[in-house]
């Protein structure tokens, strides 16, 4: 089994959204992703989708996007991103998943020899920003969701040599390489891989933390950052 990843698909088959208004590289991005996916991904492979899967506004508009994903090869694990406005209660989301799709949020799944955890992330706070009650509450929710996901992963993992892959939509570090408060938790839980997206400019990609840092392998898998083609995740 190979493990692949791609985020920020921004599918919109029910209400087509021309994302090339943001940049020309987004022209026909959905079709290009599908073609590349079919070329590379095998039926028994695993594809990880850390957020911004669909631009749908509600569960009804989401259905064509889920149908397209279901027809693509591989088993898929989805986690929420900031633009997944359709993603509300996890139980309702899971009830809509097709046979090859699994949703994780504050939870984890064991798939083909790896454990995949997912949580709803937030951006790393700016160091100069004054903390407010709203920002403090958002931080507490993000950390609580992460802790729940990592606890679930620990229960499934058993052998510490088993890869533990975390889907965390926002970059775990700020643009200057400073770690968010969640990174320490990654280390404590023995996370081996952290996959994220959200970044959509060359300047952001050039400063994003990637590769191994303190034992965790970080990889930005935003669709436009990786050429709208699923990228293979190196699993030891």
Q: Where are the beta strands (DSSP E) in the chain?
A: 3-5, 46-50, 75-79, 101-103, 107-111, 114-119, 164-168, 193-196, 211-213, 216-220, 231-232
Q: What pLDDT is recorded for position 39?
A: 98
Average pLDDT score over the chain: 96
DSSP assignment string, 212-234: EETTEEEEE-BGGGGTTS-EEPP
Domain extents in the chain: 3-232
- Give residue-wise pLDDT tens across range 1-28: 999 999 999 999 999 888 888 899 999 9
Reduced DSSP (H G I as helix, E B as strand, rest coil) percent helix, strand, coil of the chain, to 5: 35, 20, 45
DSSP-based three-state secondary structure for 75: strand
The model's pTM:
0.96
Of the candidate CATH numbers 3.40.50.300, 3.30.70.2740, 1.10.287.1080, 3.60.21.10, the domain formed by 3-232 belongs to 3.60.21.10
Give 33's DSSP letter: H
- Give residue-wise pLDDT tens across range 99-152: 999 999 999 999 999 999 999 999 999 877 788 999 999 999 999 999 999 999
- Give residue-wise pLDDT tens across range 33-48: 999 999 999 999 999 9
């Amino acid at each position: 089994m190979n493990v692949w990843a791609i985020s920020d698909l921004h599918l919109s088959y029910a209400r087509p959204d021309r994302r090339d208004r943001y940049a020309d590289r987004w022209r026909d991005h959905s079709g290009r992703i599908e073609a590349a996916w079919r070329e590379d991904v095998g039926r028994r492979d695993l594809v990880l989708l850390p957020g911004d899967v669909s631009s749908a506004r509600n569960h009804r508009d989401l259905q064509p996007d889920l149908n397209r994903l279901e027809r693509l090869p591989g088993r898929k694990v989805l986690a929420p991103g900031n633009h997944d406005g359709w993603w509300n209660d996890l139980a309702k989301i899971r009830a809509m998943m097709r046979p090859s799709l699994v949703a994780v949020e504050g939870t984890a799944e064991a798939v083909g020899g790896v454990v995949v955890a997912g949580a709803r992330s937030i951006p790393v706070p700016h160091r100069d920003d004054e903390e407010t009650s709203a920002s403090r509450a958002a931080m507490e929710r993000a950390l609580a969701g992460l802790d729940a996901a990592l606890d679930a992963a620990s229960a499934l993992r058993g052998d510490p040599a088993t890869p533990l892959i975390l889907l965390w939509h926002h970059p775990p570090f700020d643009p200057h390489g400073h770690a968010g408060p969640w990174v320490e938790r990654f280390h404590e839980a023995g996370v081996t891989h952290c996959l994220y997206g959200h970044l959509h400019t060359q300047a952001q990609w050039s400063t994003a933390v990637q590769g191994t840092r303190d034992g965790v392998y970080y990889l930005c898998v935003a669709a436009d950052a990786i050429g709208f083609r699923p990228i293979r995740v190196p699993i030891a």
